[in-house]
Structure 1
Amino acid sequence: MTKRKNVTASLTLESARTKHDNWSGFLSISPWLIGFILLILGPMIASLYLSFTDYNLLSSPNWVGLENYRNLFSDARFLKSLEVTFKFVFISVPLKLIFALALAMLFNTGRKGSSFFSAVYYIPSIIGGSVAIAVVWKQLFGRQGAITQILSALNITDTNLIGNPNTALFVLILLVIWQFGSPMIIFLAGLRQVPAELYEAASVDGASKIRQFFSITLPMLTPVIFFNLVMQTISGFMTFTQSYLITGGGPLDETLFYAVYLYETAFEYLRMGYASAMAWVLLIVIAAITFLFFLTSKYWVFYQSEGGR
């Protein structure tokens, strides 16, 4: 009987300790949990509701059902912003990753000063999305900008690159490619995880540097490439500052990014319900593309922990 009481007391004490630990855990994460509910989950639920309403910030929301979503696909500027954003993402992301990988491989050679230069090349990723850099870029490629003057002196072009509908988007793409420091650092970390023995064995077998790159480096880097691809694609779809400050979405809406049109709809035209619908369409588009990446990754992403995959 005494033994049973001791066991019961031990279980009670253990249960009390578990409850105390649980409450301590909840207390530790409470700042993040409160922030998530108030700043992320709450606004998401509110925007989902507003996407089914006609709301202009000045009056109460008026329920309109799916009307906002139906109107999106008859909105020429919405379709144009979608087209421009897709073009921007599918051109800028691959080029950005190619430049990042090339520089990472260069800095991975162990040459003197590699660490210093890798840090220098990372700086544009920190400041590249700032207002100051956008203003500088606008001055460089404007009508009186240094780049325009150099191209004019070489008789390549004497037009304002930002004001030309055929070149404005590529000016913004160039700015984004210049910000390749973040994926470069991730590629560099991945390259340093590739076993040197693989290259030594390939050299003994007579494999050239090009063959080693395609047979060893790329397959071993596919998880890192996949991560960078997903993150940069998501970031590309949310690009705002460059277009808004440098071109304002022009000329002729050729740089009207999705985020810029969403901002204009919400805060210039005060169509908050319509803008909320746009935000949820963007979320669905990004989720679908990300899902597609994960779905196809089994065919080209290789993990050592899965028997060579």
Structure 2
Amino acid sequence: MTSKWRRLTDRLAGKTEPEPLWAEGVPDHIDVPIRDWLYEVLRAYDMATPVAVRLKLHSRFLKSRDPYAELANLDDRMNPMLRLEVIDATLGCVQQALRGAGWKDLQTAATYARQLEGILREGDSAFTVSENGGRLERRMDGTLHATYDKAADAGASKTEAAADHLRAAFSEAYGLKPDPGAAYSRAIKAVEAVANPTFLPNDPEPTLGKVRSRLDQGRHKFEMVIADRTGAPAGIDAVVAMISLLWHGQRDRHEGGPTSAPVTQDAAETAVHTAAILVHWISNGSIREK
């Protein structure tokens, strides 16, 4: 979500539509605060070498008199995303370096992450700091993000694996370098983590496809907590349709078939949100046996 603050002239004009997000690189109006943030964090955690190695940057950066400043000021007009990659790599390297660190060190890193998020949010950047502070992600609509958060919490109440898969699916779909295939696969695993033990408790090799078959063939045995137009518990047609959509839509699961195809970014994002709804419903008991 973007900053809610509006300049005086916009408020006087009654402007209500959200500001457009800056979807590529670091815009000029936040260039200086981003540079200052990067320089401070790179120096504080001695991250010049790990970041340069991770990004496979030219050795001249590390040979310079002040490699922290070189990285903090790095800008490439031919590759405007490079600045974001430096920020992303810095977050990741700091998180890796602090594994097993004490509470105070973790809190300091969290403060740095919040500072960065504040700059990106106020600057209407299309990117945000991930929930764990270890990477950049594309900014999502606030309502959609709230739905995702509730689904992750609901999944965690059933099994932590569901929440982990859902968070991973979100990161793969909305990360700085999205991986649609990985996001789709994780989305299915998130649903399987709650659906398999709920609907196939005794199956030694449960899959989402088997869950779909069981619900499809046993529609008369299940109902929703929500009512239909007659006031009776609704059937599970919508659930079967959503699981079928998710299951059949993963066209990269097997190679060599006539309908095999790479997963697109739009399909991956749709799969992640479909999975979030299913995880939420199944975890909360919205689908129940009669």
Return the TM-score normalized by structure 2. Answer: 0.23
Greater Cα radius of gyration, structure 1 or 2: 1
Give the structure with the larger helix fraction.
Answer: 1
Q: Which has the higher contact order (CA 8 A, sep 6+)?
A: 1
Return the TM-score normalized by structure 1. Answer: 0.22
